[in-house]
């Protein structure tokens, strides 16, 4: 089935009144919120714009990667179960979830199949097209949408989404702090964030490899730094680390009404 044949229900106009900008789709159904923005991309990001990378990434590397990096067997099913548990409140309410820097939409596809409405975010048109096509072939094309933009520039209003997920992308995203601040900004109070990322290795050999990979723009922020980048409005719910594979779940704290002090009795 071609992607064009799938009726997109269009999560954005229906559910996200907070979308900032015109909702104009290209012929694949992707909304381009990046066209006017000049972005300087690192080599890893440029590689991800190639159709060949988009074709091979998930099936060749992604489904095996955590098993190789965690220092123990770590099947993809276990990762996806952790993800779904982390954002369970959003699944229960059929909430809107952003899959930021989604590639082929591994996380978003899983969540859309479990009740969420998903907006895929990536700067790579090749990856977004693939994410939409894969959803179409799973008959969940009506539960997803796709926006081409940078993670540090999410075109959504403050507090407009129920959950934000990011799988393995913090390492190549460029400005991690700005991207994290954006993801936190668009979350509603009580909304959940799940982020899997790779941290610095312990062994000298592995650290050497990580520093060599650094030429491509890939970085390995520590767990402490990643947690700190969540900022004061987020409460850490869970933190797990196996080998260099960090997973954090955090929740945006509900808004607290200002408290008024009683004037002292005269």
Ligand X SMILES: C[S@@+](CC[C@H](N)C(=O)[O-])C[C@H]1O[C@@H](n2cnc3c(N)ncnc32)[C@H](O)[C@@H]1O
Candidates 36, 7, 39, 33; CA nearest to 19 is: 33
**Least Cβ distance, residue 54 to ligand X (angstroms):** 8
Structure tokens at 227: 């947690």
| Cβ nearer to ligand X, comparing 14 with 46 | 46
For 210-228, give one letter per residue: b (16+ CB within 10 A) or e. Answer: beebeeebbbbbebeebbe
**Least Cβ distance, residue 124 to ligand X (angstroms):** 4
Alpha-carbon distance 131 to 8, whole Å? Answer: 13
| Cβ nearer to ligand X, comparing 81 with 255 | 81
**Least Cβ distance, residue 140 to ligand X (angstroms):** 17
Q: Enumerate binding residues for ligand X (CB under 6 A).
A: 45, 48, 58, 62, 101-103, 106-107, 122-124, 127, 150-151, 167-169, 172-174
Q: Cβ-closest residue to ligand X? A: 167
**Least Cβ distance, residue 61 to ligand X (angstroms):** 9
**Least Cβ distance, residue 227 to ligand X (angstroms):** 19
CA angle in degrees (0–180, nearest 5) for 252-255-257: 160
| Cβ nearer to ligand X, comparing 155 with 167 | 167
| Cβ nearer to ligand X, comparing 218 with 263 | 218
Structure tokens at 169: 């992308």
Candidates 24, 23, 58; CA nearest to 133 is: 58
| Cβ nearer to ligand X, comparing 110 with 188 | 110
Q: What is the dihedral of CA 48, 49, 51, 55, to 10 degrees?
A: 30
Structure tokens at 217: 């723009």
């Amino acid at each position: 089935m071609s992607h064009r044949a799938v009726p997109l229900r269009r999560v954005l106009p229906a559910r996200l009144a907070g979308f900032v900008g015109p909702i104009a789709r290209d012929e694949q159904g992707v909304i381009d919120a990046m066209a006017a923005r000049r972005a300087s991309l690192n080599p890893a990001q440029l590689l991800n714009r190639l159709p060949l990378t988009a074709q091979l990434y998930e099936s060749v590397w992604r489904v095996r990667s955590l098993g190789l990096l965690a220092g123990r067997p770590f099947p993809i099913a276990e990762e996806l179960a952790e993800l779904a548990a982390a954002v369970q409140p959003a699944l229960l309410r059929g909430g809107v979830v952003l899959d930021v820097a989604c590639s082929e939409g591994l996380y978003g596809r899983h969540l859309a199949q479990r009740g969420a409405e998903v907006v895929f975010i990536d700067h790579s048109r090749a990856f977004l097209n693939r994410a939409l096509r894969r959803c179409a072939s799973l008959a969940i094309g009506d539960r997803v949408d796709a926006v081409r933009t940078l993670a540090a520039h999410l075109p959504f209003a403050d507090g407009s989404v129920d959950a934000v997920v990011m799988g393995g992308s913090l390492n190549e995203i460029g400005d991690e702090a700005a991207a994290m601040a954006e993801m936190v900004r668009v979350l509603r109070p009580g909304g959940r964030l799940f982020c899997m990322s790779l941290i610095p290795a312990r062994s000298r050999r592995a650290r050497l490899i990580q520093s060599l990979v650094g030429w491509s723009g890939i970085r390995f922020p520590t767990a402490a730094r990643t947690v700190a980048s969540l900022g004061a409005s987020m409460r850490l719910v869970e933190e797990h680390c196996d080998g260099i594979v960090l997973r954090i779940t955090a929740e945006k704290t509900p808004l607290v009404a200002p408290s008024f002090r009683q004037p002292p009795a005269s």
